[in-house]
A and B are shown apart, each in its own frame.
Chain A
């Protein structure tokens, strides 16, 4: 009974996985059909000793913490504010969700246009007000900040949406009782709302974390990893290794490294959910 489903799962998931593992132990040539040359642990040794890959992991780490952190904080704050609205809630929510429906590559293009020093509206405004007088995408710190903010702009609404769902499912009787007992907003937030929505917050965190690890589109369109490798996250390095340098075996090892990191992060969050009794 389960066999057809297992076969489909194997075809679309397990076979590619084992194929990539196989590739990571080979040098792969594409000319005249794919061919493999056994190189043992060479690609894996390089993965752990390559300073370029190490620097990309560091950039990815900074990027990961900044984007996921900002998205969670802003998403929760916006959700709490929207939840308190008495009228116009649906309209506001619809407008807030719009960025989420834009393709990431379009967000990158939009961001690039807005911060371009020749015709960018944001660049013009920031320069006129004296807030930023240098080239935003041409300087290391501001380039990283810019791509982080583009991601935050696009995906904060997703966190808002998930948290709002959690807020909407809270038992109103408990909140009413707290209010009658004289608990102010902050007290209710800390002692009632936070514990009640912590499960969905962890889910939002899990979803955004998985996505942030494989972040590629916006950086590819805006900075291409520069300046001075300041925005070269690990997916950009992976793409470059696979499709620019044609080192598919080494790229497979990098990709498996990303997969291992994703599994670690997912396990961490699942453990938190289990501890809260929200997952089995």
Chain B
């Protein structure tokens, strides 16, 4: 399964390789073959520390990032970049809301100080794409190192979602992290109660691609009534916050609903004019009705939990299963639940299985001087290189999961898919790789007014969960809020 996904990705990505990449790869191959008889052996050209890397020696770059695992890993391992380029990097890690505020002030200041931006596709890239540099000009510049293995090595859905806005050609960010929602469950409890559950429920409850959300509901209810090991069957990140939108969206898409008419395109490439919202349509209404019922039988803490609190509750054994971000697997595996948890793609609905992708790219502040932008490019190439991503994956401070296909084909990474694993996030690979397929990935709308729309949807959902509004009223109000925000 994994190799077929990578194979498909490789083919589709080929079209994304620039003429320069193609010539470089071909040239390097021929030169390598003639000189060494083995193409691609030895240290890669783009990280060999040549003049291209050293041209901005002595400069200092400011990198603003959300406080995420990949950035923590990079912050703990900046020496190789300093050795390679002579450039110092100051990293400022913040909560995402504070990051958006700082970026907005920096790009308007007239004297920008931030060089490398953690460009959340929805909260930074879409509203500030005009202030971001198009990376193609650096990648095609012969005087600068280019992206190792070409941009086609990035997982295609992630490259589009994290890197592009409105334009299939312009590239504003390189995929940097890729948290994705999957089904985390207590395998020990499913093993213990599986047969009894099957008898009671009339279907095999073991998490698999065949399980639907309706069956998930019934499994959760069964745990509520029959298992003493956990307080509740399921838990959700349903606090009035971004996390609530993420949790609900999985169900919205699987029930055939969407935020806008051309949801796939609006999520993958994005648009300034998404048109009227579709939240008053049947699929959305069914999804809202189901979600209301589901959270109704979930752990009561769900309505005050964001993603971090849900993960803490899961690790504390409060719930038997939850839709959770796959990058939390490292924490789960190192907790008391280590070895007792397994991972599966999220359940399906009447239309499909959909898994919210929450990844981000890193981009360059386009308000900077040309030299500063070029120096920042060096950091982008290094930070997203196969070596750095692999190093991050092994990092003691946790390093997210790679956004490049080639890394998942490395033998040590493939071995790490089985326990005991020194790369615990890779234990989720089977689940998450399926979630990244174009037909399964869940991409929220990439629109300029997403922050407003996001607030509208999670506020209306919160009102629904609090009993202030019916699912129909909540979805109607959300549609009106979306349309007002987008000037429809």
A-to-B contact residues, CB < 8 Å: 30-34, 116-119, 134-140, 143, 223-230, 240, 243-246
Q: Does B309 contact A (CB under 8 A)?
A: yes
Whether the pair B303, A244 counts as a contact (CB closer than 8 A) is no
Which A-chain residue is minimally distant from B467 (CB atoms)? A228
Chain A hits for B360, CB < 8 A: none
> Smallest CB–CB gap between B137 and chain A, Å?
18
Chain B hits for A116, CB < 8 A: 301, 304, 309
B-to-A contact residues, CB < 8 Å: 97, 100-101, 104-105, 107-110, 123, 127-128, 130-131, 239-241, 299-305, 309, 312-313, 316, 318, 367, 449, 451-452, 455, 459, 462-463, 465-466, 468
Chain A hits for B465, CB < 8 A: 227-228
Whether the pair B107, A30 counts as a contact (CB closer than 8 A) is yes
Chain A hits for B107, CB < 8 A: 30-32
Given contacts A117-B300, A244-B97, A244-B451, contact A31 B239 (CB under 8 A): no
Whether the pair B108, A227 counts as a contact (CB closer than 8 A) is no
Chain B hits for A226, CB < 8 A: 239-241, 459, 462
**Interface secondary structure of A, over-half rule:** loop
Chain A hits for B316, CB < 8 A: 118-119
User: Which of A138, A229, A240 is within 8 Å of B300, CB to CB?
Assistant: A138
> Smallest CB–CB gap between A18 and chain B, Å?
19
Given A116-B304, A134-B300, A138-B239, 8 new contacts (CB under 8 A): A139-B303, A139-B466, A224-B239, A226-B462, A228-B463, A243-B97, A243-B101, A244-B123
Task: Give A228 to B240 CA distance when docked, in angstroms.
Answer: 7
Chain B hits for A30, CB < 8 A: 104-105, 107-108
A-B contacts, 9 of them at CB < 8 A, read: A30-B105, A30-B107, A32-B131, A32-B367, A228-B466, A243-B97, A244-B451, A244-B452, A246-B104
Whether the pair A223, B240 counts as a contact (CB closer than 8 A) is yes
Whether the pair B301, A138 counts as a contact (CB closer than 8 A) is yes
Chain A hits for B127, CB < 8 A: 246
Task: Give A225 to B465 CA distance when docked, in angstroms.
Answer: 15
Q: B108, B109, B110, B131 — which one has the most chain A CB atoms within 10 A of its CB?
A: B108
> Smallest CB–CB gap between A114 and chain B, Å?
13
- Which 10 A-B residue pairs are closest in the complex by CB-CB distance? A226-B240, A30-B108, A138-B303, A138-B304, A228-B466, A117-B301, A137-B304, A243-B101, A228-B463, A135-B300
Task: Give A157 to B289 CA distance when docked, in angstroms.
Answer: 47
Task: Give A245 to B459 CA distance when docked, in angstroms.
Answer: 15
Given contacts A117-B313, A246-B104, contact A229 B240 (CB under 8 A): yes
Whether the pair A135, B301 counts as a contact (CB closer than 8 A) is yes
Whether the pair B455, A227 counts as a contact (CB closer than 8 A) is no
Which A-chain residue is minimally distant from B98 (CB atoms)? A243
User: Which of B131, B300, B309 is within 8 Å of A31, CB to CB?
Assistant: B131
Given contacts A118-B316, A225-B240, contact A135 B104 (CB under 8 A): no
Given contacts A33-B110, A226-B240, A228-B240, contact A243 B367 (CB under 8 A): no
Task: Give A227 to B299 CA distance when docked, in angstroms.
Answer: 16
Whether the pair B304, A245 counts as a contact (CB closer than 8 A) is no
Which B-chain residue is minimally distant from A230 (CB atoms)? B466
Task: Give A229 to B466 CA distance when docked, in angstroms.
Answer: 10
Chain B hits for A118, CB < 8 A: 301, 309, 312-313, 316, 318
Which B-chain residue is minimally distant from A33 (CB atoms)? B110
Whether the pair B130, A32 counts as a contact (CB closer than 8 A) is yes
Which B-chain residue is minimally distant from A247 (CB atoms)? B452
Whether the pair A34, B108 counts as a contact (CB closer than 8 A) is yes
> Smallest CB–CB gap between A244 and chain B, Å?
5
Whether the pair B100, A244 counts as a contact (CB closer than 8 A) is yes
Which A-chain residue is minimally distant from B111 (CB atoms)? A33
Chain B hits for A134, CB < 8 A: 300
Task: Give A227 to B461 CA distance when docked, in angstroms.
Answer: 10
Task: Give A228 to B467 CA distance when docked, in angstroms.
Answer: 9
Whether the pair A243, B309 counts as a contact (CB closer than 8 A) is no
Task: Give A34 to B107 CA distance when docked, in angstroms.
Answer: 9
Q: A137, A143, A227, A229 — which one has the most chain B CB atoms within 10 A of its CB?
A: A227
Task: Give A226 to B465 CA distance when docked, in angstroms.
Answer: 11
Given contacts A30-B107, A118-B313, A245-B451, contact A229 B463 (CB under 8 A): yes
> Smallest CB–CB gap between A258 and chain B, Å?
19
Chain A hits for B466, CB < 8 A: 139-140, 227-228, 230
Task: Give A93 to B239 CA distance when docked, in angstroms.
Answer: 38
Whether the pair A229, B318 counts as a contact (CB closer than 8 A) is no
Task: Give A134 to B100 CA distance when docked, in angstroms.
Answer: 34
Which A-chain residue is minimally distant from B315 (CB atoms)? A118
Task: Give A225 to B449 CA distance when docked, in angstroms.
Answer: 20
Task: Give A42 to B230 CA distance when docked, in angstroms.
Answer: 54
Task: Give A98 to B482 CA distance when docked, in angstroms.
Answer: 46
